[in-house]
Amino acid sequence: MIPETNSNYNPRLVARQRMGRAWQIVFMSSTVLALIFLIVLMLNIINSAFGLVALENTIAPSELADEPLEALEKEALVGILADNIRRNAGRKLEREQRFFADTLAFESQEKWDEVCARAEAPEGCSSTPRDHANVLALVYERVVEQQVLETYPLWDSITRGDEIRAEIEAQHPGATVEFWSWLDRNFLTTPMSSDAALAGVRTAILGSLWVIALTILFAFPTGVGAALYLQEYAPNNWLTRIIQTNIDNLAGVPSILYGMLGLAIFARTLEPITSGQFLGVGSENGRTILSASLTMALLILPVIIINAQEALRAVPSSLRNAAYGVGATRWQMIWSHVLPYAMPGILTGTILAVSRAIGETAPLLVVGAATFMTSDPNSIFSKFTVMPIQIFNWTSRPQAEFRNIAAAAIIVLLFILLTLNTTAILLRNRFSTRR
């Protein structure tokens, strides 16, 4: 020990060091708590996305055929359909999409010709026939009519699987018990359905992609342009200050208000444009991908601008001086030095903003996402739904199995976001270490 020799001071070192250690534990625990929360959240979702389900079929597949249904030819499957559903329902299916290219399964040829001759011919008249998987799905949906009686979370399924099986045995004697992953290939590739067991997220994923692609197209150039204007060109006057203040404030406006803006302006006032009616195509109203994208673009624009400004501000003024010093014009300076230097920062900021946009729900809810949509979007004037809307929709439903597919959809969404965020972080780290 170094003794205190100055009698004017009494440092009480031991006590001070002890107090320091106590608080350090407090600080660390808080951090750990936040991490625990994240883990619990993830586990909770995984817990719901997988697990045992109790199933009951109206007709057991074994009663329909000797072999497993999957092994049957398409013709046989259509035969099963024809045997088990009402003819009207069959016709309806055929009008949506025909079963065979050459023959008709439910409709008579004359009736078919007549229907197809109408001005508004159904899609089935022109579409390619249903494939095997489609027909198989129809068999399950319409004939086997598998119903989910009960679902169990993963944790319970693992820890007390036998108990659960016994329980189900007791309550639903005819039911089968299966271990399901709610997240599977089918889930990703099938469209929405009102039956949780059959529903998928394809439409929503495609919707999200459309909306985001368009959003980036609108927001990125504008955002970078605005940032360049503010950082490199704007004179220091009232207008600039107003723009700046305004952008800062916009970044803090709750997202739902953007939704209201989108609703009032894009979906309603600009309906003729956003619906595509001015081109004679598209939907009946303005609640389209275009409206959604424009809304989203406005929403993330301030974020992009602010991030880009930050990145531009990080460009050392010495670099600008250097360029001027060798006789560069302003744009030469920006194009050759400022932008390349700031681009990683700008991209990082943009990716983060975009990943926020992907997860945004409220504004699109307000702009008018379709809550139930089975056909894929195919133009900017299509109706739309997106992943988070789908999740919200499923979460809000009372039936337990929708929670399970909501969880599965969440995993998909989180996976996309995680990928984007990781890209952003890697990008940032790579360029921050390079300097």
Residue ranges in 221-280 that form contacts with another protein under rule CB under 8 A: 221-226, 228-230, 232-236, 242-243, 245-250, 252-261, 263-265, 268
Kindly tell me which of 81 and 199 has the beta carbon lying closer to another protein. 199
**Window contacting another protein (CB under 8 A); options: 12-20, 133-141, 174-182, 199-207:** 12-20
By CB under 8 A, is residue 117 in contact with another protein? no
**Window contacting another protein (CB under 8 A); options: 116-124, 126-134, 176-184, 326-334:** 326-334
Out of 101, 117, 170, 326, the only residue in the binding site for another protein (CB under 8 A) is 326
CA distance 92 to 88: 6
Kindly tell me which of 341 and 384 has the beta carbon lying closer to another protein. 341
CA distance 385 to 401: 21
Out of 80, 135, 290, 362, the only residue in the binding site for another protein (CB under 8 A) is 362
- Considering only residues 41 to 80 of the shown chain, the ones binding another protein according to CB under 8 A are 41, 44-45, 48
Least separation in angstroms between residue 358's CB and another protein is: 8
Intra-chain end-to-end CA distance of the chain, in Å: 44
By CB under 8 A, is residue 1 in contact with another protein? yes
By CB under 8 A, is residue 407 in contact with another protein? yes
The answer to whether 196 and 393 are in contact (CB under 8 A) is no
Kindly tell me which of 199 and 301 has the beta carbon lying closer to another protein. 301
Out of 89, 123, 425, 432, the only residue in the binding site for another protein (CB under 8 A) is 425
By CB under 8 A, is residue 301 in contact with another protein? yes
The answer to whether 267 and 286 are in contact (CB under 8 A) is yes
**Window contacting another protein (CB under 8 A); options: 124-132, 167-175, 373-381, 414-422:** 414-422
Residues 6+ apart with CB under 8 A from 215: 293, 296, 297, 300, 354, 357
Out of 61, 200, 276, 388, the only residue in the binding site for another protein (CB under 8 A) is 388
Tokens (6 digits) for 328: 């560069």
Kindly tell me which of 174 and 327 has the beta carbon lying closer to another protein. 327
∠ CA 73-75-78 to the nearest 5 degrees?
115
Least separation in angstroms between residue 196's CB and another protein is: 15
Out of 33, 71, 117, 119, the only residue in the binding site for another protein (CB under 8 A) is 33
∠ CA 212-213-217 to the nearest 5 degrees?
110
Least separation in angstroms between residue 255's CB and another protein is: 7
- Size of the chain, expressed as the number of residues it contains: 435
The alpha helices in 132-229, defined as continuous H runs, are: 132-138, 154-159, 161-171, 185-189, 202-228
Tokens (6 digits) for 130: 């249903």
Out of 53, 201, 298, 312, the only residue in the binding site for another protein (CB under 8 A) is 298
By CB under 8 A, is residue 23 in contact with another protein? yes
428 burial via Cβ count (<10 Å: 0-12, 13-18, 19+)? middle
**Window contacting another protein (CB under 8 A); options: 39-47, 71-79, 98-106, 114-122:** 39-47
Least separation in angstroms between residue 296's CB and another protein is: 13
Q: What's 278's DSSP letter? A: G
- Considering only residues 329 to 358 of the shown chain, the ones binding another protein according to CB under 8 A are 329-332, 336-337, 340-341, 352, 355-356, 358
Kindly tell me which of 77 and 323 has the beta carbon lying closer to another protein. 323
DSSP for 94-129 reads HHHS-S-SSS-SSS-HHHHHHHHHSTT--GGGTSPP
By CB under 8 A, is residue 371 in contact with another protein? yes
Least separation in angstroms between residue 134's CB and another protein is: 31
The alpha helices in 253-381, defined as continuous H runs, are: 255-261, 271-274, 289-313, 317-325, 330-333, 339-359, 362-367
Q: What are phi and psi of 178, to 5 degrees?
A: -130, 155
Q: At what angle do helices 387-396 and 339-359 cross, to 10 degrees?
A: 20
By CB under 8 A, is residue 2 in contact with another protein? yes
The answer to whether 230 and 309 are in contact (CB under 8 A) is yes
Least separation in angstroms between residue 144's CB and another protein is: 29
CA distance 225 to 294: 17
249 burial via Cβ count (<10 Å: 0-12, 13-18, 19+)? exposed
| Sign of the alpha-carbon dihedral angle for 185, 188, 191, 194 | positive
By CB under 8 A, is residue 88 in contact with another protein? no
Kindly tell me which of 146 and 309 has the beta carbon lying closer to another protein. 309
By CB under 8 A, is residue 327 in contact with another protein? yes
Amino acid at 294: L
Pairing of strands 50-56, 147-151: antiparallel
By CB under 8 A, is residue 322 in contact with another protein? yes
Tell me the number of residues near another protein by CB under 8 A: 121
